[in-house]
């Protein structure tokens, strides 16, 4: 399996641990990733907030630069922007013309835009994933957080249910985690307001952290660097405001999968997470020692 | 009004489901369903003078749940483009300032460069020392780079920005 890989801006900086763990897990699963040459920022919320043409032309540049027939994005926001662009450019010839003028070259239609979670969960048969697991997550309690852009809107992001997505839950169960139910799996974290209306992030992400802790989670599992950064980087300020003593590590699903594939926590960038993850890692290891057969169930 | 917005409005029966699920409604002067109502009544300027579309996070919850298929998030976006072009901030000046700073760093480097973004954002929004406290920790965790990364096709990105700025009647950057 060969894919064009579009890491996106954050995986090259603040979310380096997502990049590390994504590449590691893909390597083990036989998914070959080839970086899109010359890829640019997708424009994120800012471009589509202020200039429609820019919001389509930036993702179109990256799609057109892809060398394979499918491009995989690990960031939910990039995925959403690329996919939205592809859908719109295929149905609106006039817009496509404008975008092509902006790029100065024809748009490459027909490149499938996929999210990394979709590829790992749906292109690799479950049985095959199982054969790659050397250890389990030891029954550690997790909640899976999908956020807003991974599953919405429904005619654009189409690999899971909009209100009750389960793709990540399924993978985590396969790895031997105790996946808890919680009501906030698709509620927005406040994403783009991190630097402008930080209080909005405190409010929205605060609800998520409180809800995950109420459910009894040891960690919240994510598939988006923006969600992770709001949950992790802003957590000290949030728990202080809420008067919460516990801490909740926000980790990437690829980091937890990688732990079951024999990679060390250093190789998976656990140390790059701001909230201390040592208790979580310890819990996984003791759980594993106590119930080594959990992977079978 | 529907024509001006490019999205139908009349089918909205004001059930309020959009506002009930909206994570930002708590900080909006008027919640999403009221914005739709203003527009139904032709009160465009009244809609534009609220902060609602600036604090909307584009999370799509409203559009996803509307029983009448009103494209609420998309309508918020139309308002935002217009407000940005006309310099209307509705009391939320830091939000458009952030978008401007974000896009400037992308135009310069082809990709996002966080330290540059934080600096420029603080300059444009007039809040000079915001978010500096988190930086040292992030730096030591290897999350912040001292220099912007390379590898983006800068010429292509600048061309796209130039064209979008000059040719697009819909918004400015
Ligand atoms: S959910 Fe739809 S029908 Fe109900 S108030 Fe909102 S826009 Fe109108
Ligand atoms: S897209 Fe905007 S208006 Fe709609 S639910 Fe999300 S924050 Fe609210």
How much is the average pLDDT of A115-132?
Answer: 96
**Domains held by chain A: number:** 2
How much is the average pLDDT of A97-115?
Answer: 95
Query: pTM for this one?
Result: 0.89
Chain B residues within 8 A of A58 when measuring between CB atoms:
106, 157, 160
Query: Binning pLDDT at 50, 70 and 90, where does residue B80 land?
Result: very high
**Residues A227 and A275 occupy one common structural domain:** yes
Is A294 a residue whose pLDDT tops 50? no
Q: Give the largest Cα separation in chain A, rounded.
A: 62
Q: What is the pLDDT of residue B171?
A: 43
**Residues B81 and B153 occupy one common structural domain:** no
CA distance A108 to A59: 11
B14 lines ligand 1 (CB under 6 A): yes
B63: CA distance to ligand 1 center in Å?
Answer: 9
| Coil, strand or helix at B125 | helix
The residue from B86, B113, B132 where one domain ends is B86
Beta bridge partners of A2: A32
How much is the average pLDDT of A34-45?
Answer: 91
Q: What is the pLDDT of residue B134?
A: 56
Which residue range forms the structural domain that includes residue A205? 135-296
Is A124 a residue whose pLDDT tops 70? yes
**Residues B81 and B111 occupy one common structural domain:** no
The residue from B26, B54, B86 where one domain ends is B86
Ligand 1 pocket, mutate which of B31, B34, B66, B67 (most atoms under 8 A from CB): B66
**Residues A274 and A187 occupy one common structural domain:** yes
Is A183 a residue whose pLDDT tops 90? yes
Is A208 a residue whose pLDDT tops 70? yes
Q: Using an 8 Å Cβ cutoff, are A57 and A99 in contact?
A: yes
Higher-confidence residue: B77 or A10? B77
- Give a yes or no: residue B9 inside a domain: yes
**Residues B72 and B107 occupy one common structural domain:** no
**Residues A147 and A97 occupy one common structural domain:** no
Q: What is the pLDDT of residue A46?
A: 83
- Give a yes or no: residue A255 inside a domain: yes
Sheet containing strand A32-35, strands side by side: A32-35, A2-5, A70-73, A112-115
**Residues B128 and B58 occupy one common structural domain:** no
Q: What is the pLDDT of residue B170?
A: 47
- Give a yes or no: residue A127 inside a domain: no
Query: Binning pLDDT at 50, 70 and 90, where does residue A295 land?
Result: very low
**Residues A150 and A89 occupy one common structural domain:** no
Q: Is the dihedral of CA A213, A234, A219, A189 positive or negative?
A: positive
Q: What is the pLDDT of residue B173?
A: 45
Q: Which of A258, A280, A282 is nearest to A269 (CA)?
A: A258
Residues ≥6 apart with Cβ < 8 Å to B100: A50, B124, B173
Query: Binning pLDDT at 50, 70 and 90, where does residue B131 land?
Result: low
Total length of chain A: 297
CA distance A73 to B143: 20
Higher-confidence residue: A254 or B123? A254
Contacts 24+ apart (CB under 8 A), A102-107: A102/A53, A102/A57, A102/B159, A102/B160, A102/B163, A102/B164, A102/B167, A103/A57, A103/A60, A103/A61, A103/A64, A103/B156, A103/B159, A103/B160, A104/B156, A104/B159, A105/A64, A106/A64, A107/A60, A107/A63, A107/A64
Q: What is the pLDDT of residue A297?
A: 41
* Percentage above 90 pLDDT, chain A: 77
B156 lines ligand 2 (CB under 6 A): no
- Give a yes or no: residue B82 inside a domain: yes
Contact assignment for B143 to A44 by CB distance below 8 Å: no
Q: Tokens for A224?
A: 């988006």
- Give a yes or no: residue A130 inside a domain: no
**Residues A91 and A203 occupy one common structural domain:** no
**Residues A140 and A262 occupy one common structural domain:** yes
Q: What is the pLDDT of residue B139?
A: 55
Contact assignment for A274 to B137 by CB distance below 8 Å: yes
Query: Binning pLDDT at 50, 70 and 90, where does residue A290 land?
Result: confident
- Give a yes or no: residue B160 inside a domain: yes
**Residues A147 and A283 occupy one common structural domain:** yes
Instruction: State phi, psi for A252 to the nearest 5 degrees.
Output: -80, 145
A177: CA distance to ligand 1 center in Å?
Answer: 39
- Give a yes or no: residue B126 inside a domain: yes
**Domains held by chain B: number:** 2
The partner residue sitting opposite A54, judged by closest CB among B27, B61, B164, is: B164
The partner residue sitting opposite A272, judged by closest CB among B61, B141, B164, is: B141
Q: What CATH code is carried by the domain that includes residue A55?
A: 1.20.1050.140
Q: Using an 8 Å Cβ cutoff, are A41 and B160 in contact?
A: no
Chain A residues within 8 A of B72 when measuring between CB atoms:
none
Higher-confidence residue: B142 or A68? A68
Higher-confidence residue: B145 or A277? A277
Q: What CATH code is carried by the domain that includes residue A168?
A: 3.40.50.11810
Which residue range forms the structural domain that includes residue B44? 2-86
Average pLDDT, chain B: 83
- Give a yes or no: residue B79 inside a domain: yes
Q: What is the pLDDT of residue B41?
A: 96
At residue A244's C-alpha, the angle toward residues A239 and A248, to 5°, is 70
In this prediction the ipTM stands at: 0.83
- Cα distances from B137 to residues A95, A162, B118, B127, B128, in angstroms, run 44, 36, 15, 21, 19
**Residues B77 and B101 occupy one common structural domain:** no
* Percentage above 70 pLDDT, chain A: 98
pLDDT digits (tens, 9 = 90+) for A239-255: 999 999 999 999 999 99
The residue from B30, B61, B86 where one domain ends is B86
Q: What is the pLDDT of residue B166?
A: 81
Query: Binning pLDDT at 50, 70 and 90, where does residue B94 land?
Result: confident
**Residues B125 and B144 occupy one common structural domain:** yes
Average pLDDT, chain A: 92
Which helix (H) or strand (E) segment holds residue A116: the answer is helix A116-122
How much is the average pLDDT of A51-73?
Answer: 94
**Residues B29 and B55 occupy one common structural domain:** yes
**Residues B77 and B131 occupy one common structural domain:** no
């Amino acid at each position: 399996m060969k894919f064009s890989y579009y890491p996106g801006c954050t995986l090259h900086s603040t979310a380096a641990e997502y990049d590390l763990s994504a590449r590691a897990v893909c390597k083990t699963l036989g998914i070959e990733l080839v970086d899109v040459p010359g890829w640019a920022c997708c424009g994120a919320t800012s471009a589509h907030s202020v200039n429609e043409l820019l919001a389509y032309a930036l993702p179109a540049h990256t799609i057109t630069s892809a060398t394979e027939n499918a491009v995989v994005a690990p960031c939910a926001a990039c995925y959403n922007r690329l996919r939205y662009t592809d859908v719109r450019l295929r149905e609106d010839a006039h817009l496509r013309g404008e975008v092509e003028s902006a790029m100065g070259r024809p748009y490459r239609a027909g490149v499938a835009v996929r999210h990394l979670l979709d590829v790992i969960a749906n292109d690799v048969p479950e049985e095959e994933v199982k054969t790659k697991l050397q250890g389990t997550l030891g029954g550690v309690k997790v909640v899976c957080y999908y956020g807003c852009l991974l599953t919405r809107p429904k005619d654009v992001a189409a690999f899971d249910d909009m209100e009750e997505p389960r793709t990540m839950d399924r993978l985590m169960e396969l790895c031997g985690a105790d996946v808890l139910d919680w009501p906030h799996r698709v509620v927005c974290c406040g994403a783009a307001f991190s630097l402008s209306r930080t209080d909005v992030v405190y409010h929205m992400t605060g609800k998520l952290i409180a809800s995950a802790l109420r459910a009894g989670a040891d960690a919240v599992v994510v598939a988006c660097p923006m969600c992770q950064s709001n949950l992790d980087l802003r957590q000290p300020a949030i728990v202080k405001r809420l008067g919460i003593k516990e801490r909740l590590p926000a980790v990437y699903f690829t980091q937890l999968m990688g732990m079951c594939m024999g990679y060390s926590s250093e190789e998976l960038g656990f140390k790059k997470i701001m909230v201390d993850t040592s208790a979580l890692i310890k819990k996984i290891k003791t759980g594993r020692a106590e119930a080594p057969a959990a992977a079978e169930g | 009004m529907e024509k001006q917005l490019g999205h139908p409005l009349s089918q909205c029966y004001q059930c309020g489901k959009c506002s009930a699920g909206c994570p930002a409604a708590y900080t909006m002067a008027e919640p999403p369903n009221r914005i739709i109502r203003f527009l139904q009544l032709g009160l465009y300027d009244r809609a534009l003078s609220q902060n609602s579309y600036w604090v909307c996070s584009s999370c799509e919850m409203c559009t996803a749940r509307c029983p009448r298929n009103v494209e609420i998030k998309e309508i918020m976006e139309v308002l935002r483009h217009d407000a940005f072009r006309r310099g209307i901030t509705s009391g939320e000046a830091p939000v458009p300032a952030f978008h401007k700073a974000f896009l400037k760093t992308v135009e310069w480097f082809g990709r996002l460069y966080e330290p540059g973004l934080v600096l420029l954002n603080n300059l444009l929004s007039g809040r000079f020392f915001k978010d500096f406290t988190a930086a040292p920790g992030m730096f030591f965790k290897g999350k912040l780079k001292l220099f912007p990364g390379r590898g983006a096709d800068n010429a292509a990105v600048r061309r796209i920005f130039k064209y979008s700025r000059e040719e697009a009647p819909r918004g400015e950057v």
